[in-house]
Amino acid sequence: MELLNAFVVSLQAVWANSGFASFTMGNGIMILVGLVLLYMAIAKEFEPLLLGPIAFGCILANFPNTGFLDEMGVMMAINFGIKFEIFPPLIFLGIGAMTDFGPLLARPSTLLLGAAAQIGVFIALVGAMLLGFTEKQAGAIGIIGGADGPTAIYLSSVLAPELLGAIAVAAYSYMSLVPLIQPPVMKLLTTQKEREVVMEQLRTVTRFERICFPIVAAILISLLLPPIASLLGMLMLGNLFRESGVMDRLSDTAQNSLCNIVTIFLATGTGMTMSADKFLTAQTLEIIFLGLVAFIFGTAGGVLFGKIMCRVSGWKVNPLIGSAGVSAVPMAARVSQVVGMKAKPGNYLLMHAMGPNVAGVIGTAVAAGTMLAMMK
C-alpha cells in the first residue's frame, strides 16, 4: 500500500511539473498560430527561411515550464543575441556582401526614391501614437514600413522589446506579400503612359567607385547617426568584402555560412518572444493593421516621387521604380519589373529598380537611427 501511495505521489509530482498542468487556452491558440505560420512558410513559400524558424520559435515559446529564459542554455543565449543587439548587425554583414550598389552609384538620384518611400514609416508612427502607443512603441511599429526585417527587429529590441514578436511577424509577413500589396497601388497612382516609359541603359560603375562607396558611406552615416553605426558599419563592411576583389573567402562566408547560422538564431529567438501573454492582445491586431498602412504609404510615396522625377527628367524615369524604394530586396524591384513588363512588353526595369531598392535599405536604417537618436 505504501508503495502504491508513493507511486501516486510521484505521478502527481510529474504531472504538476509537466507542461500539461500549466497549459492554457492562450498557449493552445499560439501553437495554432505557429502552425499556421509554418504552413505559410512551407506550403505557400512566404519568406520560408525566416518565417519557418519564427513559427517554430512561437511554438516552443508556448510550452509551459521549459525554463528557456530562466536557466543558462542555448535558448537563453539566443535571447541574449537579440536583447543585446548582436544578431541584426551580423545579418547586415551578410546582406552587405550580397548587395550590389552599382545601380545606385550609376544613377545616384534614385537615392531620393528610397528616401521618399520611408514616408510609410512616419505615417505608421503617427498612426500608432494616435492609437495610444507610447512614443518608443510607435517608433518600433513605424519601422515595419521600411520592409526591412533585421532593422525592425533591431529597433524593436531597443525601443519596445515587449512588441518584438508582433512587429517581426507583421514585417516579414508583409514583405512576403509585396507582390500582392504593391501592384494595385502602383497602377492606381500611375497612367499607362508613365508605366510605358523606357529608361536608358545604366552607365558602367568603376571598381574604384564600388570600393570607395562602402567606406565613405560608413564614415558619413556613422558620424551623422552613431546609434546605427553597428548596422550600417556591418552592411558596408560586407559590401567591401564583396567589392574589394581580394576578400572572396570572407565575402562567401558572410553571404552563406554566417548569414544562414545567424538567420536561424535571429528568427527562432524572435519567435520565442511570441508567448500567449505578450502576443494575444488587441495591440497585436493594431500593429498588423498599421504594418499594412505603412507598406501602402511607403509604396505610394516612392511612386509619387517617381512621377515628379519622371516630369523633371523629361520622361526619362519610369515612376514604377519608385515602389522599389521599400527595402524588400530584391522582391520589390522584381515587382517593378513585372508591372512594367505588363504595361509594355520588353521594358526591362529590374536593374533601374535595384537603385531605389538598395537605397531603401540605407533609408530604413537611417530612419531607425533617427528614431534611436530621438527616443532612446
Q: What pLDDT, on the 0 to 100 scale, is given for residue 19?
A: 73
CATH of domain 41-62+77-375: 1.20.1530
How much is the average pLDDT of 136-151?
Answer: 90
Domain ranges of the chain: 41-62+77-375
Q: What pLDDT, on the 0 to 100 scale, is given for residue 1?
A: 67
Contacts of 99 (CB under 8 A, 6+ apart): 235, 238, 239, 242, 329, 358, 361
**3-state SS string for 167-203:** HHHHHHHHHHCHHHHHHHHHHHHCCHHHHCCCCCCCC
Instruction: In whole angstroms, give the CA distance from residue 57 to residue 237.
Output: 30
When computed from its CA atoms, the radius of gyration of the chain, rounded to whole angstroms, is 23
How much is the average pLDDT of 233-262?
Answer: 96
Smallest Cα–Cα separation from 324: which of 160, 146, 193, 201?
Answer: 146
How much is the average pLDDT of 22-48?
Answer: 91
Q: What pLDDT, on the 0 to 100 scale, is given for residue 330?
A: 83
Length of the chain (residues): 376
Smallest Cα–Cα separation from 264: which of 49, 98, 82, 66?
Answer: 49
Tell me the pLDDT tens digit for each residue of 271-282: 998 999 889 899
Q: What pLDDT, on the 0 to 100 scale, is given for residue 265?
A: 94
Residue 65 has what DSSP assignment? T
Q: Flag whether the pTM goes above 0.85.
A: yes
